[in-house]
Amino acid sequence: MKEALHVALLGYGTVGKGVYETIKQHQGRLQKLLGKEVKVVAVLVKNISKHKLSDRSVILTDQYKDIINIQKLDVVIDAIVGIEPAYSFLQQAINRGCHVITANKEMFAHHSKDLHALAKEKGVTVGFEATVAGGIPIIQTLKRLLNANKVQKIEGILNGTSNFILTKMREEKLLFTDALSLAQDLGYAEADPTNDIDGHDAFFKAVILSEVLFGEQPDWGKAVRVGISTIKSEDIAYFQSLGLRFKHVASLQRTNKTVVCTVRPVLVSEAHPLYQVEDVQNAINIEADIVGNISLQGPGAGMFPTASAIIEDIIHIDDKEYGPCFEEESSISESAEQLWIAYGENALLGLPESAEVIKKIADYTWLVKGDSNDNAKFDIRYYQLLGNADSVKAVEKVH
């Protein structure tokens, strides 16, 4: 058998513990796949007194220098949060000649290009499957699709917290604040839930997907990002009576040689794959030119789903093309038609010039056709509709 693969873990919270336990419990499977043992040699923590490892041969430290100076070190796994010190740690690891794997979507959204460039220079790889949608293998799926297909659009529920809140507001008729409190009580939302409910978390994930799909990020200043805190329980009930559900969806599409990125509440009809995605589940709908539509659904976070993504990156550690892979002219169109629901007494007064009213659905509710180039012009009176126009039936009176 070949010499062991020596791994260091940065962070021993939910994700770090999941990776540690998975490596320990599935060592036989990993050895069969890799032809060698995967050995955790060190774990970096903030406070040593709060942690204890079952294997005393593993270095437990609060000093990164103790890890980067280990004689035999092959892979460094980032399971901490925040841009720094994670970015600096991974830079040092790559310069040392280590492969790196990260679950840190905020850091990676900001610094993925730099890390990929440095890794290429040093002849190592960067694994980032765990940065998007937890246990859903979206990154590797996209890379395989891009071999023959041109991905034209992606729509996804990328944050389990916001999806859980919207589900409970609809199913249990909770106010937003009560649904958020429930999410916090169950551990689905942080004490400061801003990243989740305002769409920052989903946006970081969309940025990462954009680099994989198109080799470039969307313009952060032009991207549309709208949270869910303004959605009212009565609006959820109203649209439910029309057969529509609120979902917080991230969307990516390349038009006019720019990447259009939105993260916003949308209305989803039963005809769309995201309609049935509930609670903390994540899902991604991929539209490609040959295969058509593909939907992936699964747990978007948690100890073992995220650990699963990291372990898969370990398996593919020698896959040298594991950086952005894209086709220069892929998925480019002048614009794309979109459907919107205009809602409110004065909703028709502020429509963009390109918009066209298709039909009245109910009192103060219209189905409208618009242009993707006008995304930013549709304010909070309008909700994008996912699903075809025929799936929304006009009604005389909504109860």
- Active-site annotation, residues: 205
Query: Are the beta carbons of 274 and 247 closer than 8 angstroms?
Result: yes
Give 199's Cβ-side CA count (13 Å radius).
24
* 359-364: long-range contacts, CB 8 A cutoff, minimum separation 24: 359/389, 359/394, 360/394, 361/242, 361/392, 361/393, 361/394, 361/395, 362/242, 362/394, 362/395, 362/396, 362/397, 362/398, 363/397, 363/398
Distance in angstroms (rounded) separating the CA atoms of residues 261 and 221: 11
Q: How many CB atoms within 10 Å of residue 232? A: 11
Query: Are the beta carbons of 82 and 106 closer than 8 angstroms?
Result: yes
CA-to-CA dists, residue 205 to 25, 83, 184, angstroms: 29, 14, 22
* Strand duo 224-225 + 292-299: pairing: unpaired
The DSSP symbol for 174 reads -
Report CA 124 to chain centroid distance, whole Å.
24
Distance in angstroms (rounded) separating the CA atoms of residues 116 and 21: 28
